[in-house]
């Protein structure tokens, strides 16, 4: 069900920082019309740490309402509080999401056993497919392959968004969790290499502004047109570099604003991106053929 180019959606806002529901809806529709294979609202790229719970729920609902079953919706539902993660995951199911993306608990620094108990509690409480989001650079902790293999035995835990950028990891995960365990890259630079090591797609930041290219790259890879996929990868490389030249989602929200998808505003503590970053993003967008 979950494969190809899935996009970790930005949350479009107005210049004053308020949620722009119309822009959110238009953005989801634009993504689908440009070939995105699935949308992932309110992850880190969607500024989930600074959205209120009401805003979080509303963004998930908008994505589901607009998608109308055309593509899967994987709702961000993570928290460093297990009870809160259960509440957000329960809402995702009630709203009609196809799956929930649940990040490893940040700040608390749980042990491997703590992570096992956290995800088990969520999976026991809510009957929805759950994708583990393992992102050590933001969460500080790294779920081990052994812990993931234990969790993969739960019928509701069906895959991982792997943002480790460790290309040996999907090999070991496939060996430990089985080929049916859905492995999605969470790192744009290594998306194709991740597929070669056992992945089936990428939950992408770059896809916010280059949905057609990211989709075409993943489709070409899946259909065995490797040279075409690699050519698109090379075309996107400067854009990947630019979009991660400052803390995401600052650069990608600026890039999206250049295409008319909301303001470039990120909520504090993320600062407006520097002018040098803006120039780099504009140049990369132009080089990729996304701006005139």
Domain annotation covers residue 64: yes
Range of the domain at 81: 4-223
Domain annotation covers residue 245: no
Looking at residue 46, its pLDDT comes to 98
Residue-wise pLDDT tens digits, 54-92? 999 999 999 999 999 999 999 999 999 999 999 999 999
Is 254 tagged catalytic?
no
Residue-wise pLDDT tens digits, 25-64? 999 999 999 999 999 999 999 999 999 999 999 999 999 9
Q: Quick one: which of 188, 170, 169 has its CA closest to 235?
A: 188
Residue 188 near residue 205 (C-beta atoms within 8 A): yes
Domain annotation covers residue 37: yes
Domain annotation covers residue 246: no
Looking at residue 1, its pLDDT comes to 76
Q: Quick one: which of 152, 186, 146 has its CA closest to 166?
A: 186
* pLDDT exceeds 90 at position 292: no
Helix, strand, or coil here: 257? helix
Whole-angstrom distance, CA of residue 196 vs CA of residue 192: 6
Enter the tokens of residue 89.
């995951």
- List the catalytic residue out of 106, 107, 161, 254: 161
- List the catalytic residue out of 133, 153, 253, 254: 133
Q: Number of folded domains in the chain?
A: 1
Domain annotation covers residue 16: yes
Mean pLDDT of 119-142: 97
- Residue 200: DSSP 8-state: -
- CATH of residue 215: 3.20.20.70
Q: Which helix (H) or strand (E) holds 27?
A: helix 21-33
| CA 263 remoteness from chain centre | 20
Is 161 tagged catalytic?
yes
* pLDDT exceeds 90 at position 236: yes
Enter the tokens of residue 63.
């994505």
Domain annotation covers residue 144: yes
Residue 150 near residue 113 (C-beta atoms within 8 A): no
Domain annotation covers residue 38: yes
Residue 253 near residue 266 (C-beta atoms within 8 A): yes
| CA 151 remoteness from chain centre | 21
| CA 276 remoteness from chain centre | 26
Angle at 46 between CA 109 and CA 1, to 5 degrees: 90
């Amino acid at each position: 069900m979950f494969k190809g180019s899935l996009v970790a959606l930005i949350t479009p806002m107005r210049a004053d920082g308020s949620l722009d529901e119309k822009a959110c809806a238009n953005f989801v529709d634009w993504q689908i019309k440009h070939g995105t294979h699935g949308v992932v609202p309110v992850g880190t790229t969607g500024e989930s740490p600074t959205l209120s719970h009401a805003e979080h729920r509303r963004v998930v609902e908008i994505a589901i309402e607009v998608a109308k079953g055309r593509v899967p919706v994987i709702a961000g539902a993570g928290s460093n509080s297990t009870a809160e993660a259960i509440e957000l995951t329960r809402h995702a199911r009630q709203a009609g999401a196809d799956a929930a993306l649940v990040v490893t608990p940040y700040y608390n620094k749980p042990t491997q056993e703590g992570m096992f108990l956290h995800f088990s509690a969520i999976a026991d409480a809510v009957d929805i497919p759950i994708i583990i989001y393992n992102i050590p650079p933001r969460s500080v902790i790294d779920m081990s392959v052994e812990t993931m293999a234990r969790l993969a035995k739960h019928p509701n835990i069906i895959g991982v968004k792997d943002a480790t950028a460790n290309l040996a990891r999907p090999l070991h995960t496939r060996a430990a969790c089985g080929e049916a365990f859905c492995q999605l890259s969470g790192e744009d630079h290594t998306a194709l290499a991740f597929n070669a090591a056992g992945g089936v797609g990428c939950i992408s930041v770059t896809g916010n502004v280059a949905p057609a290219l990211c989709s075409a790259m993943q489709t070409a890879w899946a259909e065995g047109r490797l040279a075409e996929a690699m050519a698109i990868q090379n075309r996107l490389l400067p854009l990947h570099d630019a979009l991660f030249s400052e803390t995401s989602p600052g650069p990608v929200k600026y890039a999206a604003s250049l295409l008319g998808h909301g303001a470039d505003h990120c909520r504090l503590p993320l600062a407006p991106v520097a002018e040098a970053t803006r120039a780099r993003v504009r140049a990369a967008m132009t080089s990729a053929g996304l701006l005139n």
